[in-house]
């Protein structure tokens, strides 16, 4: 009788440990998939994902693989064109917030680039990581301090490119007061 109770307790303990493990894993996944706006960055790292506002509309812009390089044109021509959609954009509580999705591909080796154009040809770009779901690829949303943008009308386009696919959204507009 005592042995049977010990076996029952052992099974119950194992089930509880498994459930706790699942909860912890879910929490870690949720934390890692959240917006990267709280992460710190080293300003001296040229590969860092940060906003860069530039006077020259071409300076600091994310290179388009279709521009000026015949080798990239051949590679670009073989990439599958995918649908990219900006799911939200705007200014709230002093933050420019944008997020999007790639609807017809499921992969994580790509790069999501939010390309901003503002008054007097000011440009800014921000790269984020893709997050794979069951039927699509989400581009991690971004929140950027609105003080990094000049007042006026701005637009943003979401570009996606991976080793297999590429795409670009329609532009979304917002205003910096």
pLDDT in tens, 36-54: 433 333 333 333 343 444 4
105: left (phi over 0), alpha (psi -120 to 50) or beta: beta
Examine the domain organization and report whether 25 and 82 are in the same domain: no
- State whether 93 and 16 are in the same domain: no
Cα(154)–Cα(173) distance, integer angstroms: 6
Residue 117 lies in a domain: yes
Host domain of residue 18: 1-34
- Asked if residue 39 is part of any domain, the answer here is no
In angstroms, rounded to a whole number, what is the distance separating the alpha carbons of residues 82 and 101?
A: 10
In a domain, 100, yes or no: yes
Give 150-174 pLDDT, tens digit per residue: 999 999 999 999 999 999 999 999 9
Asked if 1 and 68 sit in the same domain, the reply is no
Residue 44 falls within a domain, yes or no?
Answer: no
Number of domains in the chain: 2
Claim to verify: residue 149 and residue 64 sit in the same structural domain:
yes
Q: pLDDT tens-digit profile of 109-155?
A: 999 999 999 998 899 999 999 999 889 999 999 999 999 999 999 99
Question: Which range (6-15, 45-54, 62-71) has the least confidence?
Answer: 45-54
> pLDDT at position 143, please?
95
The answer to whether residue 40 is domain-embedded is no
């Amino acid at each position: 009788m005592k042995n049977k109770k010990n076996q029952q307790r052992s099974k119950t303990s194992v089930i509880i440990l498994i459930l706790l493990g699942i909860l912890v894993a879910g929490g870690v996944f949720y934390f890692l998939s959240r917006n990267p706006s709280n992460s710190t960055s080293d300003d001296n790292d040229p590969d860092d994902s940060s906003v860069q506002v530039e006077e020259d509309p071409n300076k600091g812009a994310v290179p388009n693989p279709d521009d000026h390089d015949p080798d990239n044109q051949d590679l670009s021509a073989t990439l599958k064109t995918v649908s990219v959609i900006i799911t939200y954009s705007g200014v709230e509580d002093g933050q420019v917030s944008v997020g999007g999705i790639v609807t017809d591909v499921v992969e994580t080796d790509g790069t999501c680039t939010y390309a901003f154009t503002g008054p007097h040809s000011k440009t800014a770009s921000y790269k984020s990581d893709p997050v794979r779901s069951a039927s699509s690829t989400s581009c991690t949303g971004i929140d950027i301090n609105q003080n990094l943008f000049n007042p006026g009308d701005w637009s943003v386009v979401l570009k996606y490119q991976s080793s297999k696919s590429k795409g670009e959204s329609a532009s979304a507009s917002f205003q910096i007061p």
